[in-house]
Amino acid sequence: MERRTFLKWVGVGGLASSLPVAIAACGNIAASPGPESGRRPGTSGFSNSGYTKVGTVSALDKSGRLRKKTTASSVLVIRDPNDSDTLHAVEPICTHQGCEVSWRNREQNIFCACHGSTFDPDGSVIRGPATSPLKSYPVKVEGNSILVKMS
């Protein structure tokens, strides 16, 4: 075998043998855990037992509400105006036609600007056209962290 033929043969063989490894590596990247998994408590996006850190108590008390958006869902956290020990976590998507809702601090309710539906802090309907409550999530406080189970 000539030297040039041998090098071509080895080059093709090397490429062919490394192709499965490259494909497997790409597969591992696609299957690797998302940015929120495996983080330690106290870091942004910590996830433990299905709960995800959405913010801090101090941030909630400063702004009156917390919003967090993940790749799968979003959440709005509000302190109950009538019971400061109670937090509510709801999906901020109107049940009428899917517009994004927002917390109105002065009125102390959740409002949809699309058609005027209004919701209590716990997500129940005050005024339609929406007839179903906002989806709610379990929420808990650990230290200064607010954790929501968004599944």
Q: How far is the CB of 145 from ligand FES (least distance, A)?
A: 31
Of 69, 115, 127, 140, the one binding ligand FES (CB under 6 A) is: 115
Kindly state the tokens that stand for 40: 């330690």
Residues 137 and 85: their CA atoms lie apart, in Å, by: 16
Smallest CA-to-CA distance from 36 within 67, 66, 60, 72 is with 72
Quick one: how far is CA 130 from the chain centroid? Answer: 24
Amino acid in the structure at residue 102 = S
Q: What residues from 76 to 95 belong to the interface with ligand FES (CB under 6 A)? A: 94
Smallest CA-to-CA distance from 50 within 144, 142, 139 is with 139
Of 80, 99, 108, 135, the one binding ligand FES (CB under 6 A) is: 99
Please count the residues of this chain forming the interface with ligand FES, following the rule CB under 6 A.
11
133 binds ligand FES (CB under 6 A): no
Residues that bind ligand FES (CB under 6 A): 94, 96-97, 99, 112, 114-117, 129-130
